[in-house]
Structures are given as C-alpha cells and as structure tokens.
Amino acid sequence: MIRGAPIPDAPDLARMRAERHAKLQEQMEAHGLDGLLLIGSSNVAYATGAGSPTSDSGRAYLFRPMALLGRGAPSPHLFTPYREGAPPELTDEWVHPALYSELEESAPVIAEAVGRLVGAGARLGVDELTHPLAEALSDWEVVSASAAVGAAKLCKTPDELACIRAAQRINELAMADVQPTLRPGVRQTDLSARFLRRVFELGATGSCIDPIWQVMPATRGEGPWTTHGDVAFPTPTTDRFLRDGDVVWVDTGIDFHGYASDFGRTWIVSETPRPSARQRAQYQRWRTVVDAVLERCKPGVTALELGRAAVDANGGTKPWIEHFYLAHGVGTDSAEMPLIGTDLGEAFDERMVMQPGMVLVLEPVIWDDGAAGYRSEDIVAVTDDGWVALSDYPYDPFEDR
C-alpha cells in the first residue's frame, strides 16, 4: 500500500494527471511561485500529460512543447507542435500552438503569452532556459523550479508506480526474447534490433536510451582508461561481435506513457552459458548486498543507512562504481531522485529519508578484478511498511535452479 492505496493493475492515466497537477499546485504554493514555465521534455510530460514523439535531442530542442502553469489554475497551458498528444481534458482553452524557445523571433510572442496567462511581473519558476527565453522573461522574477518540481516528483502515486511497472514489464518481456539470441557471433547491434522490434510491438511509447550490451574486461587495466581508475560503464553499442565467454552488462530503458523502465542484468555469451565458481560467487555477493539493503528498506530509513548496509554486506568495501551510486530513482526520468551513494556526500544521503512512493533502482556492482564482475538492477517501490518489487526478471545463467 502507498499511503493507504494499492498499486492498480493498470494505471488510471486521467487520475494520475489530476494528482500530479494537484501536487505541482501544492508545491507552487509552498515555494511562493506564481507560475511554472517548463521546457524539459520529462517536466512538460509530467506537468501536462502531453505525449510527444520520442526523438533525438536536436529535434526535441527545436520542436519542444512548453508547459505554463498558473498558481490556482485548474489546468496547465500546453504549447505544442504535437496537438494530437494533448490529453483529452486539455480543451482548446489550454492547448496552444508551439512557441519556439530556441528562436530569437519567438521571444516577444513568449513574453506576450506569459503576460496574458500568468500575469506581468510574476514570480516564475523555470526548469531551464534558452538565451531567447531568458530575454523573453526579463520582466519577470525568474527562479529555479527544481525544488518545487523535484518535490512533486519524488514520491510516486499508485498510478505512476503502475506505469513504471508496466514499462518494466514491456522491457522484461522483450529481454526474454533477446536473451536466447545471445550466442557467439551475434553483434551488439543485432541484440538492439531484436530488442527494439519487441519493445515497440509490446507497447513501448519510446526507446529512451541506445540499448547497452557492454562487454566487460576481465581487469580494470584492460578496460578503457578512466579519470578515477575505476571501471568504465556504460559505453555505447557498436557492431562489435560478441564472442564465447564475454561477460555482457545489459542496460536498457524504454518509455511507457512518460515513465521509464530500467533493466540491468549480467549475461555470459556462450552456446552453453555456465558461470564459473568465481562468477557465481560474484552473483551471490550481489544478492547478499541487495538483500541487506531491502531488509532495512522502509519509510523513515535514510539513504545513508541503506548505503551503509550495502557496504557492510560487501565486507566494508563500497559495492558500486566510483562515478555511480548504489541506487537511483526512476520515473519521468531514467535516473532521478532519490540517489544513494553519489559524490554528493554523506550529509546529502542522511537528509534523504525514505517515504512511501519513492522508487529505488538498486544497482550494486561486484567488481572482481581478474574475472570482471556482476551487475544487475532491481526496482522496488517504498510502501507504507516496507517495499514492493516493480521488476521481475530471472538472473540466468547465475541462479541456482
């Protein structure tokens, strides 16, 4: 249960949008904002529920939708080149032609729209700006929206959790079709081909990240040079052939109605994949770390306590890569708050207290120099009295059956 409510089998998208709007209104009130002007892809989707085609950043910047929320207004205003993506409750009063925040010539039009819909001189939270947008807003008090939007997004509603679970399910079902093709001579891009075909057939609304099938070196020294001396991950996919015995770290993410999945597993390339005793031990240690974290995971526990539980379970050594984390959230972005174990430091982790509706993608790494390492990702949501799994995929070929 999430604050007394169950996670539904299928999300009620209209209810989800209404609850998100209410949360943003609450945060605008709390942060003294008269309006919110959002242009980041995931923020616009969160604030309006509007769909837009998943695309490369260049296209997304030039043709980006914009959300404009006034404090106390019943709905958000949406400016979009993709009218068809607007949810049904956003009638013509709320949906407007695109405003091009990349273009100088649009600055006066944007200023006019903000003045008309939110009012002159208001205190406006923005998620980011372009130079033309900054010029358009020179008569407003412009402040960062990140505290307000971040607070709204941090704890998911039951419908949002249902979306994340659905995204993850699509991702996992596709992987069940990809994993059997992992044989010597297959290329990384062949795996992507199978994966992309299946995720779209299964209902994904987008592929948010070039699917990763990274072949891990046996030792750190054999891998790419890194600024910190630790392992390089993730590196992009190529047409590289996979060969017998390659240890492959898989990492993919797809979109389902604005919510991301995050799939991570370690696979072995072989006609008959059988991990060595050493590789099995890596997996066992990963399991031990995850179990230790989950045992403590419930509302009120700090991220610092969860991080310490992971380190203790790993014999005092930090079980994640230097530039990564033990866990991150997932939602409208594939990596968002809460973060556990980053270089933001212990004080940051101590302030991050688990609450119902938070999502954790646990991704410890058990590096075993000389025999590569094991990494998988499991997703849980914090519930009223513990946690519930949002991911469900086997650990083949490591699991004892």
Partner 1 sequence: MTISPGLGTLPEGGRVDFDRLRAERRRRLVDAMRARQVDVLLLGRPANLIYAAGVRQLWTAGARPWGPGCVVVAGTGRVHLMSTWDEGVPAEIPRSDLFGLSWNPAKTTANLKAIPGLSEAHRIGTDGLSVGTRQLVAALAPTAELVDGAPVVGEARSHKTADEVACLVTAAAAAEAALSAMVDVLRPGISERQLLAVAAQRLASLGAPVLPSQAAACALHGRLRRTLTDRAVGPGELVALTPAASFAGYEGSLSRTWLPAGSHPSPDQRDMARRCRGGLDAVVEACRPGTTGADLLQRWEKATGSAASAGLTVHGVGLGVEPPLIGDGVGAGAVLAPDTVVAVQSWVAGARGGGFLQKDLVHVTTEGPRVLTRFSSGPVGGDDA
- Within residues 173-192, the interface with partner 1 by CB under 8 A covers 187, 189-190, 192
Q: Which member of 151, 173, 218, 344 binds partner 1 (CB under 8 A)?
A: 344
Q: Which member of 87, 96, 200, 280 binds partner 1 (CB under 8 A)?
A: 200
Rule CB under 8 A: say whether 203 interacts with partner 1: yes
Q: Which member of 211, 329, 356, 357 binds partner 1 (CB under 8 A)?
A: 211
3-state secondary structure 137-150: CCCCEEEECHHHHH
* Least distance from partner 1 to the Cβ atom of residue 103, Å: 6
The footprint of partner 1 on this chain (CB under 8 A) covers a number of residues equal to 85
Q: Per-residue string for binding with partner 1, 255-274, x by CB under 8 A?
A: x-------------------
What are the residues whose beta carbons fall under 8 Å from the beta carbon of 124, sequence distance 6 or more? 33, 34, 35, 36, 37, 114, 118, 137, 140, 141, 142, 143
Compute the distance between CA of residue 219 and CA of residue 229 in angstroms, rounded to an integer: 11
Compute the distance between CA of residue 86 and CA of residue 47 in angstroms, rounded to an integer: 11
Rule CB under 8 A: say whether 219 interacts with partner 1: no
**Chain residues 289-308 in contact with partner 1, contact rule CB under 8 A:** none
Rule CB under 8 A: say whether 276 interacts with partner 1: no
Q: Are 376 and 395 in contact (CB under 8 A)?
A: yes
Token pair 């597993």 in the structure block, residue:
265
* Least distance from partner 1 to the Cβ atom of residue 386, Å: 27
**Chain residues 120-149 in contact with partner 1, contact rule CB under 8 A:** 126-134, 142-144
In the complex with partner 1, which residue's Cβ is closer, 50 or 292? 50
Q: Alpha helices of 267-335 — where are they, by DSSP H?
A: 277-296, 303-313
Q: Which member of 6, 32, 97, 185 binds partner 1 (CB under 8 A)?
A: 97
Compute the distance between CA of residue 171 and CA of residue 134 in angstroms, rounded to an integer: 39
Compute the distance between CA of residue 2 and CA of residue 229 in angstroms, rounded to an integer: 41
Rule CB under 8 A: say whether 315 interacts with partner 1: no
Sign of CA dihedral 227, 229, 235, 240: positive
In the complex with partner 1, which residue's Cβ is closer, 135 or 384? 135
State whether residue 173 is helix, strand or coil.
helix
In the complex with partner 1, which residue's Cβ is closer, 7 or 111? 111
Q: Are 395 and 275 in contact (CB under 8 A)?
A: no
* Least distance from partner 1 to the Cβ atom of residue 340, Å: 11
Rule CB under 8 A: say whether 42 interacts with partner 1: yes
Q: Which member of 139, 222, 295, 343 binds partner 1 (CB under 8 A)?
A: 343
Q: Are 227 and 322 in contact (CB under 8 A)?
A: no
Rule CB under 8 A: say whether 236 interacts with partner 1: yes
Rule CB under 8 A: say whether 225 interacts with partner 1: yes
Compute the distance between CA of residue 44 and CA of residue 61 in angstroms, rounded to an integer: 12
**Chain residues 58-87 in contact with partner 1, contact rule CB under 8 A:** 58-64, 81-85
Within 10 A of 59 (CB to CB), how many other CB atoms are there? Answer: 12
State whether residue 201 is helix, strand or coil.
helix
Rule CB under 8 A: say whether 241 interacts with partner 1: no
Rule CB under 8 A: say whether 318 interacts with partner 1: no
* Least distance from partner 1 to the Cβ atom of residue 197, Å: 4
State whether residue 366 is helix, strand or coil.
strand
Q: Are 34 and 62 in contact (CB under 8 A)?
A: no
